[in-house]
């Protein structure tokens, strides 16, 4: 630096300063003129958010009320694409479907949601389980509401499943080509009851304990596989190796039974049920959508298959 | 009349769903019946009027030429689904605020609850324990119910009544299902919930639960009535009675089914027909055994060293 000064290069230095000054002036000027223009554009752009890149990256089609967009609204949405774009005009009538299948699914979602929240407060151990429920009821904010909602949604789901099956039977919706889906539905019915049953034990109170004791005592009497069942003794069944032992992880309803219930209830059955639900919904679509309301057929119009 | 007892049973939180189930079922049966009747009337009209049958749109709801046969899911179905989700949420929320889930004392293996009841949806099976041994009521029956339900689509060969409510076109299948679902499943649950008290004894609604009540009831086995004493003879006798139930019952069923459902009878294969017979007769065996017990105090029909029926 010192050398540069001695060589009389001060003039250059002044020139540099000038250039920087001019540049800064230019920048300030551009801020003064460009930014308001850009801001104006920005505000202009916000007036129609549907034109923004963020919006168009999320929603892949326009939303003007045209038949095409109505169809795309369903088809291009991962959650809604379970539905077809259009359905039988009478299929939206509540009196036909009773909406019970959808309500069952909705309750399953409610149960998953409340169930996950309850899992934060619950330990499936003999020491903790009952206290955790007391804690939920008395100390956790909205804990009581959470537990109540979980309980009543479970009961409601059992009722909704029954009514769904009842409606499907009464409308003959299990008939060709929906035989297989009826079977998937029967499995889902059983899984719903098992879910409710395994959940019954978890508060570890007298009600759940004795209900599960009564329920699993039946397993003693399983033919061949239970120690009190027909031919069970002959096959070497004892209270310590029969099917009930396998269910409870012991010969009485105790700590292992609580843990097994919990795991079946929170992980095992929900996963299996979800898989069956996927198949169930998929098949509803593949079998031609919901069964009706179909035009009535007269007995005289039925063509008997040749034998 | 013990109103307090009645109220305690009806208002027990876990019994509330069953109290709710009754009006729900009545409502939905009414809804289905109303539509079935409308469809049946339409069918009867079309059967007598072939010209109308050719042009009619075949539904009880209005339809005019030019109307679209299909509607968009968005918004016509989705708004209903949204509404349903809202209504269910509100019902659930109100229910959860007003009524608390039951929580009794900590579980205690040394203090038996009396009555010790299964969850309400299994009370039908528990009620069956009065009439059958656990291996039947608790294991065989649920298995048969599941397999029987699964078999329905494959044994119901009637092509009519697919996708609409009807009674006249499907009397047998609907009648059988109603009998199984309403009488044998729901009614048993209602009995198990509201009627059964301590010791699983019968207490009429409003009758005080008496924990010390003893009923002097001597149950007999069917072979005893015939003076059969040896084990071998009892086993053979029971096998004949149970087998006879299926053979004679099957014959009566056959006679009725052939007469009243000639078309279904003709359509069904041997396998379909025998599976249907087996399940219908097994279903009828429940009230039959209940009758034996209630009318003649008969406990077992078939006694063997390994199992009793």
Compare all CA atoms of chain A with the CA of B165 and give the residue at the minimum distance: A171
When comparing pLDDT for B173 and A305, which is higher?
B173
Residue in the structure block whose two tokens are 């539904």: B59
Q: Name residues 133-152 of chain A within 8 A of B (Cβ).
A: 133-134, 137, 144-145, 147-152
Residue A3 scores a pLDDT above 60: no
| B70 DSSP β-pair partners | A88
What tens digit of pLDDT does each residue of B85-110 get?
Answer: 999 999 999 999 999 999 999 999 99
| Residue A307 confidence class, pLDDT cut points 50, 70, 90 | low
When comparing pLDDT for B40 and A75, which is higher?
B40
How many Cβ atoms from other residues are within 10 Å of residue A266's Cβ? 21
pLDDT, residue A305, reads 64
Binary contact (A87, B140; C-beta < 8 A): no
> Are the CB atoms for A87 and B71 separated by under 8 Å?
yes
**Positive or negative torsion for Cα B191, B193, B195, B198:** positive
pLDDT, residue B267, reads 92
How many Cβ atoms from other residues are within 10 Å of residue B282's Cβ? 17
Q: Choose the closest CB to A295 out of B58, B74, B125.
A: B58
Residue B182 scores a pLDDT above 70: yes
Where helices occur in A93-204 by DSSP H, the ranges are: 94-97, 100-119, 129-138, 143-170, 179-200
What tens digit of pLDDT does each residue of B183-239 get?
Answer: 999 999 999 999 999 989 999 998 999 888 888 888 889 998 898 889 999 999 999
> Are the CB atoms for B170 and A172 separated by under 8 Å?
yes
The closest of B21, B71, B164 to A96, measured between CA atoms, is B164
Residue B71 CB contacts under 8 Å (≥ 6 apart), including other chains: A86, A87, A89, A92, B77
Residue A6 scores a pLDDT above 60: no
What's chain A's Rg over C-alpha atoms?
Answer: 34
User: To the nearest whole angstrom, how far is the Cα of B13 from the nearest Cα of chain A?
Assistant: 9
Residue numbers in B near A205 (CB within 8 A): 102-107
A127 touches chain B (CB under 8 A): no
**Would the pTM of this model clear 0.95, i.e. be above it?**
no
Distance between start and end Cα atoms, chain A: 110
In three-state form (DSSP H/G/I as H, E/B as E, the rest C), the secondary structure along A18-39 is HHHHHHHHHHHHHHHHHHHHHH
**Positive or negative torsion for Cα A240, A244, A248, A253:** negative
B267 touches chain A (CB under 8 A): yes
Residue A292 scores a pLDDT above 90: no
What tens digit of pLDDT does each residue of A154-211 get?
Answer: 999 999 999 999 999 999 999 989 999 999 999 999 999 999 999 999 999 999 999 9
Three-state SS at B212: coil
- Per-residue tokens: A19: 């250039």
d(C-alpha A175, C-alpha A297), whole Å: 14
> Are the CB atoms for A130 and B107 separated by under 8 Å?
yes
CA dihedral A13, A15, A21, A23 (to 10 degrees): -120
Q: How many CB pairs under 8 A join A and B?
A: 291
A182 touches chain B (CB under 8 A): yes
| Residue A5 confidence class, pLDDT cut points 50, 70, 90 | low
Residue B34 CB contacts under 8 Å (≥ 6 apart), including other chains: none
- Mean pLDDT of all residues in A64-85: 88
d(C-alpha B240, C-alpha B260), whole Å: 29
Residue A27 CB contacts under 8 Å (≥ 6 apart), including other chains: none
* Element (DSSP H or E) covering residue A88: strand A86-88
The closest of A231, A221, A199, A222 to A212, measured between CA atoms, is A199
A289 touches chain B (CB under 8 A): no
The closest of B263, B53, B16, B300 to B159, measured between CA atoms, is B263
In percent, the amount of chain B with pLDDT more than 90 equals: 75
d(C-alpha B250, C-alpha B278), whole Å: 8
- Mean pLDDT of all residues in B105-133: 91
pLDDT, residue A214, reads 87
Three-state SS at A127: coil
Domains and CATH numbers, chain A: 100-286 (1.20.810.10)
Binary contact (B92, A110; C-beta < 8 A): yes
- Per-residue tokens: A278: 């996927």
pLDDT, residue A52, reads 86
User: To the nearest whole angstrom, how far is the Cα of B247 from the nearest Cα of chain A?
Assistant: 24
- Per-residue tokens: B168: 């006249």
Residue A8 scores a pLDDT above 80: no
pLDDT, residue B41, reads 95
pLDDT, residue B114, reads 84
Its ipTM equals 0.94
Residue A54 scores a pLDDT above 60: yes
Burial status of residue A66 (CB atoms within 10 A of its CB: 0-12, 13-18, 19 or more): exposed
| B220 DSSP β-pair partners | B298
pLDDT, residue A65, reads 87
Average pLDDT, chain A: 91
Residue in the structure block whose two tokens are 């406990």: B299
Binary contact (B267, A304; C-beta < 8 A): yes
**Angle at CA A265, nearest 5°, toward A262 and A270?**
145
- Per-residue tokens: B98: 């007003």
pLDDT, residue A64, reads 84
The closest of B23, B28, B16, B19 to B178, measured between CA atoms, is B28
d(C-alpha A174, C-alpha B33), whole Å: 19
Residue A7 scores a pLDDT above 60: no
Compare all CA atoms of chain B with the CA of A149 and give the residue at the minimum distance: B96
Choose the weakest-confidence range: B16-20, B168-172, B210-214: B210-214
pLDDT, residue B289, reads 94
pLDDT, residue B40, reads 96
pLDDT, residue A13, reads 65
pLDDT, residue B213, reads 86
Where helices occur in chain B by DSSP H, the ranges are: 3-11, 16-48, 50-55, 73-76, 78-98, 123-128, 134, 141-155, 171-178, 187-190, 222-225, 231-260, 262-267, 270-296
């Amino acid at each position: 630096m010192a050398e540069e000064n001695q060589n009389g290069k001060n003039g250059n230095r002044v020139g540099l300063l000038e250039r920087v000054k001019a540049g800064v002036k230019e920048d300030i000027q551009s801020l003064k003129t460009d930014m308001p223009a850009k801001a104006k554009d920005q505000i202009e752009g916000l007036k129609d958010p549907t034109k923004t890149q963020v919006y168009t990256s999320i929603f892949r089609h326009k939303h003007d009320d045209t038949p095409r967009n109505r169809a795309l609204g369903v088809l291009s949405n991962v959650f809604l694409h379970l539905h077809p774009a259009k359905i039988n005009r009478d299929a939206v009538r509540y009196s036909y479907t009773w909406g019970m299948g959808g309500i069952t699914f909705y309750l399953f979602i409610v149960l998953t949601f409340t169930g996950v929240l309850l899992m934060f407060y619950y330990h499936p151990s003999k020491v903790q389980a009952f206290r955790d429920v007391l804690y939920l009821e008395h100390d956790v904010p909205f804990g009581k509401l959470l537990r109540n909602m979980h309980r009543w949604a479970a009961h409601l789901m059992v009722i909704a499943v029954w009514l769904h099956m009842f409606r499907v039977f009464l409308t003959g919706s299990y008939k060709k080509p929906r035989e297989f889906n009826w079977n998937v539905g029967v499995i889902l019915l059983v899984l719903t009851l098992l879910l409710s049953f395994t959940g019954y034990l978890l508060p570890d109170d007298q009600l759940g304990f004795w209900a599960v004791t009564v329920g699993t005592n039946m397993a003693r009497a399983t033919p061949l596989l239970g120690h009190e069942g027909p031919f069970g003794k002959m096959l070497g069944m004892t209270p310590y190796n029969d099917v009930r032992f396998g269910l409870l992880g012991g010969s009485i309803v105790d700590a292992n039974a609580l843990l097994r219930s919990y795991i079946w209830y929170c992980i095992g059955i929900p996963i299996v049920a979800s898989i069956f639900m996927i198949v169930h919904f998929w098949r509803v679509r593949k079998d031609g959508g919901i069964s009706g309301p179909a035009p009535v057929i007269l007995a005289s119009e039925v063509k008997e298959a040749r034998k | 009349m013990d109103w307090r007892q009645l109220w305690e049973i009806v208002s027990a939180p876990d019994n509330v769903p069953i109290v709710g189930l009754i009006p729900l079922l009545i409502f939905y049966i009414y809804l289905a019946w109303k539509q079935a009747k409308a469809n049946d009337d339409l069918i009867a009209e079309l059967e007598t009027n072939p010209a109308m049958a050719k042009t009619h749109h075949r539904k009880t709801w209005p339809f005019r030429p030019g109307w679209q046969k299909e509607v968009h899911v968005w918004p016509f179905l989705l708004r209903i689904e949204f509404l349903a989700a809202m209504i269910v949420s509100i019902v659930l929320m109100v229910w959860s605020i007003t009524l608390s889930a039951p929580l009794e004392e900590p579980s205690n293996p040394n203090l038996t609850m009396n009555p010790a009841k299964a969850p309400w949806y299994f009370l039908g099976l528990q009620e069956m324990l009065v009439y059958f041994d656990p291996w039947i009521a608790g294991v065989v029956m649920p298995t048969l119910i599941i397999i029987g339900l699964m078999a329905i689509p494959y044994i119901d060969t009637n092509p009519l009544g697919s996708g609409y409510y009807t009674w006249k076109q499907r009397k047998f299948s609907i009648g059988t299902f109603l009998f199984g679902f309403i009488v044998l499943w729901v009614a048993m649950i209602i009995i198990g919930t509201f009627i059964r008290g301590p010791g699983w004894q019968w207490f009429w609604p409003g009758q005080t639960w008496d924990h010390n009540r003893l009923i002097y009831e001597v149950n007999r086995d069917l072979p005893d009535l015939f003076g059969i004493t040896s084990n071998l003879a009892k086993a053979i006798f029971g096998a004949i009675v149970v087998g006879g139930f299926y053979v004679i019952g099957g014959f009566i069923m056959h006679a009725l089914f052939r007469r009243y459902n000639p078309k279904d009878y003709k359509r069904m294969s041997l396998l379909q027909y025998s599976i249907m017979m087996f399940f219908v007769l097994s279903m009828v065996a429940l009230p039959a055994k209940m009758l034996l017990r209630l009318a003649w105090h008969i406990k077992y029909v078939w006694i063997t060293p390994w199992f009793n029926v």
